[in-house]
Structure formats: structure tokens, C-alpha cells
Amino acid sequence: WFDSLAGPAQSEPIVVEGVLAEDGALTPAGVSLVIRAHRVRLGDRALECARACGGIRVSVTGAMAAGRASAWRAGRRIRCAALLRHPSVFHNPGGPDERKALARRGVALAGSVKSAALVEVVEDSRWLDALAAQARAWARRRIADSVGPWSARSAAVATAILIGDRSGLSLE
């Protein structure tokens, strides 16, 4: 659908509507979101899927991104305007293939959103998803407060073990 909607040289943002597959993760560049797209639109061309169109990982940049990350929790339906592309492939011998790694996680496209103001929460998650998101947020805060002052690395490992959030882990 991406190639038919946008063409090979996309220069306009595609409006993506879908459900967040995981909580927004803080990164050095902003916030990373994984969206299970249900509806996409470029200008007057639109595609609505009975099932998900696919997974899209977008990076939200700008000064407001970190402050809004707590609003982007798994299960919430969002709408955003993103510049999309196929994931990069590095042809380094022995190096990992990022496209295959993302595909195994259900992510087919990558992209960027230039401002958090372009990400709108359209619908809140179901009560059980919202409760789980609150529990994950509480765990992140408690681990950061109790373990973080001694070692940010240890806090990231504890968070990954307890709630599966690996966003604070380095490649090492």
C-alpha cells in the first residue's frame, strides 16, 4: 500500500491513523512510536484497512516530544502526519539487517514526525490497556527513582526485565 499510495519518492507527509503497539519510548532524538496502522491518507488518496495495514515505527522530534511521551501509551488510537520510508538497509558484511529485524517485530515502514503537535490522540485505550499502561509508567518512575541515582544502566536493565521496556538499554 505504501508504494501505491506514496510512490518511490515521497516528499509529502502521509496521515496515519492507528493503534499504538507499545508505549512511546524516549530516545536521544525524541520519542519512538510503533503504530499498527488502520487508515492512511495522502492528499485525496486514502486507504482504509479492515485489518491493520502494517506496523510503522516513527520518530517524533522537536522540543515538545519528551513532554508528551507519557500520553502515547499502548492501546491508544492516534493520528499523525509522517514522512514514511522503507527501513534502511546497510550492506555491511556481517552486519545486521535492520529491515528483517523490524519485520520480525511486525514493523514494515519507518518514518519521522517533525513535531509532537502533529500527533493527536484520537481515542483512549480500553480500560484494561489503560490500567496496564499506568502500571508500566509507575514501574518506570519507581525504578528510575530508586535505582537510577546509583546507575542508569542498572535502572534500564531492571526496567527491561520487569516490564519488557528495552528503550533505555544501549546496544552494549
**What does the pLDDT look like over 68-122, one tens digit per residue?**
988 898 899 999 999 998 887 777 777 777 787 778 788 889 999 999 999 999 9
Give the pLDDT mean for 49-72: 85
* pLDDT at residue 5 tops 80: no
* Higher pLDDT pick, 104 / 51: 104
Confidence label for 165 from pLDDT (cuts 50, 70 and 90) = confident
* pLDDT at residue 57 tops 80: yes
Burial string for 96-116 (b: 16+ CB within 10 Å, else e) reads eeeeeebeeeebbbbbbbbbb
pLDDT, tens digit (0-9, with 9 covering 90-100), for 109-160: 999 999 999 999 998 877 888 788 788 888 888 998 999 889 888 988 988 8
Q: 121 has which bridge partners?
A: 78
Q: 16 has which bridge partners?
A: 40, 80
Alpha-carbon separation of residue 90 from 98, 99, 133 (angstroms): 8, 9, 35
- In this predicted structure, which of 30-34, 35-39, 123-127, 144-148 has the lowest mean pLDDT? 123-127
Confidence label for 171 from pLDDT (cuts 50, 70 and 90) = low
The C-alpha cell that represents 129 in the structure block: 490497556
Confidence label for 56 from pLDDT (cuts 50, 70 and 90) = very high
pLDDT at 60: 96
